[in-house]
A and B are shown apart, each in its own frame.
Chain A
Amino acid sequence: MWENAVDWLVYTAWNMPHDQLAGALNFFLYDTGKILTLLVTIVFAISLLRTFFSVATTKRIIAKLPPVVGNILAALLGIVTPFCSCSAVPLFIGFVRGGIPLGVTFSFLIASPMINEVALVLLAGLFGWKIALIYIGTGLLIAIVAGLVIGWLKLESSVEGFVFGKDAEALVEEKPTWKERFSGAWNDTTEILYKVWIYVLVAIAIGAFIHGYVPEDFFVEYLGKGQWYSVPLATLLGIPLYSNAAGIIPIISALFEKGVPLGTALAFMMAVTALSFPEFVILRRVLKLRLLVVFASVVGAGIMITGFLFNAVQL
């Protein structure tokens, strides 16, 4: 329906010829409308869901669980617990002091930024629900397995000494009313939209340009399945591009359309959201360099395996 409306606007109302410019414009208007609608609805729904969770309750739940089960639940709760990576350090300290194993804490810290609502909307809107679900599934798997590996390596000695201390009682917040849940979720939604809309629009515009002007299969030669280095390259490129899942995914979707294989595209998106240089700097306050390197390498390896796997099977 929206597609027909945009077609009508571009080709009938504005009477544009069926050329590259009209194609790019059509693509831009169609994607912008779709993505902004999805952003408002899905971000609101997830924000509302999050009012039922808190870091304090998540901590209480996973503190009681044995390893493996703990890692699985920590990764799952990482998706729905309201938490921003700017709070990674106090959260890390709170979890470790509460007796939560290092590996379980990492499962939470990996899943939480990787599977975020903005990435989800863009994936679902531009790649479809199937690929969005693949991203969630493999993202969870990476968070769980990387946490288990970090746990097995017994790296507690690579955590800064001050982190270990007496556990403090976390603040128990009052249960919000429904009215507070809705207004809180709406505030979060507008805040997120305000933060990302410009990135989304610019990225969709670049995507539209690629869609209209770059020839089909343009990237196959350089970034195709046959080029083994495309996955590690995508992973490395993702590290400095922090917090801009909003500004990256529309571009990746256009590259995907022009021949970049799914595994490479997935690896790039995961690296952008899960591996970020500013987050490494923040975490250095509580992790010694050795543990930081292990964390980045284990997650990076997981992302690359995912990339190679999906390039090999090519859905």
Chain B
Amino acid sequence: MTIQILGSGCAKCNQLEKETKAAVAELGLPIAIEKITDFNRIGDMGVMVTPAIAIDNVVKFAGKVLTKDRIKQLIQEGK
């Protein structure tokens, strides 16, 4: 499984990345985190508000910083 964080280095994007890393660390699963900052790819994924989070290239949420617990829930749903 790969989690994508979409956004171009805004404060909220970094916050979302941090929450995601914490969620992955707590679950202890082999999950890769990929940061997508290329606007062309962000556009290709249909994201118009950043930050956004996707699991295996499927966008789950856009425009908000999810909490660590919410991300853990997303990962478990996606397994």
Q: Is the CB of B48 within 8 A of A90?
A: yes
A84 CA / B60 CA spacing, docked (Å): 19
**Cβ-defined partner of B63 (8 Å) among A82, A89, A285:** A82
Q: How far is the CA of A82 from the CA of B63 in the complex (A)?
A: 9
Query: Beyond the given A170-B47, A171-B52, could you list 14 further A-B residue pairs with CB under 8 A, ordered by the A residue number?
Result: A55-B48, A87-B49, A89-B8, A90-B42, A90-B50, A94-B46, A94-B47, A95-B48, A162-B39, A168-B43, A168-B44, A171-B59, A173-B62, A286-B39
Judge whether A89 and B39 touch: CB under 8 Å: yes
B10 within 8 A of A: yes
B39 and A165: CB pair below 8 A?
no
Q: A residues within 8 A CB of B52?
A: 171
Interface flags, A68-96, vs B, CB<8A=1, else 0: 00000000000000111011011101110
Whether A165 contacts B44 in the complex (CB less than 8 A), given A55-B63, A86-B10, A285-B39, comes out as yes
Q: Does B25 contact A (CB under 8 A)?
A: no
| A170 close to B40 (CB less than 8 A) | no
Report chain A residues within 8 Å CB of B74.
Answer: none
Alpha-carbon distance A56/B49, docked complex (angstroms): 9
* 4 cross-chain pairs, A with B, having the tightest CB-CB distances, nearest first: A168-B46, A94-B48, A93-B43, A87-B49
User: B27 at interface (Cβ–Cβ under 8 A)?
Assistant: no
Chain B: interface secondary structure?
A: mixed
1/0 contact string of B8-44 vs chain A (CB within 8 Å): 1010100000000000000000000000000110111
Number of interface residues of B (CB under 8 A): 20
* Cβ-defined contact, A90 with B49, below 8 A: yes
CB pair B45–A168 under 8 Å, yes or no, is: yes
Q: Which of these, A84, A171, A285, contacts B46 with CB under 8 Å?
A: A171
Query: Are the C-beta atoms of A171 and B43 separated by less than 8 Å?
Result: no
Q: Decide: B48 and A87 in contact? CB cutoff 8 A.
A: yes
Nearest CB in chain A to that of B52: its residue = A171
B46 to A169, Cβ gap below 8 A?
yes
A39, B40: Cα distance in complex, Å: 37
A97 at the interface (CB under 8 A from B): yes
By a beta-carbon cutoff of 8 Å, the part of chain A in contact with chain B is 55-56, 59, 82-84, 86-87, 89-91, 93-95, 97, 162-163, 165-166, 168-171, 173, 285-286
Question: A55-B63, A89-B8 known; A165 and B49 CB under 8 Å?
Answer: no
When distances are taken between beta carbons in the complex, the residues of chain A under 8 Å from B46 are: 94, 168-171
Given contacts A82-B63, A86-B50, contact A162 B40 (CB under 8 A): yes
Chain A residue at minimum C-beta to C-beta distance from B45? A168
Contacts of A95 in B (CB 8 A): 48
Report the minimal beta-carbon distance from B68 to chain A, rounded to whole angstroms. 16
Residue of A nearest to B6 (CB): A90
- A201–B4 CA distance with the chains assembled, in angstroms: 40
Say which residue of B43, B47, B50, B61 sits within 8 Å of A165 (CB atoms).
B43
Q: Is the CB of B43 within 8 A of A94?
A: yes
6 contacts between A and B (CB under 8 A): A59-B48, A86-B50, A87-B50, A97-B43, A165-B43, A171-B47
In the complex, which of the residues B45, B49, B59, B61 contacts A91, with contact meaning CB atoms closer than 8 Å?
B49
Q: Which B residues touch A83, using CB under 8 A?
A: 49
Which residues of B sit under 8 angstroms from A173, Cβ to Cβ? 61-62
Q: In the assembled complex, which residues on chain B have CB atoms less than 8 Å from the CB atom of A285?
A: 39
Least CB distance from A86 to B in Å reads 5
Bound Cα distance A283, B40 (Å): 14
Determine the chain A residues whose CB is within 8 A of the CB of B44 once the complex forms.
165-166, 168
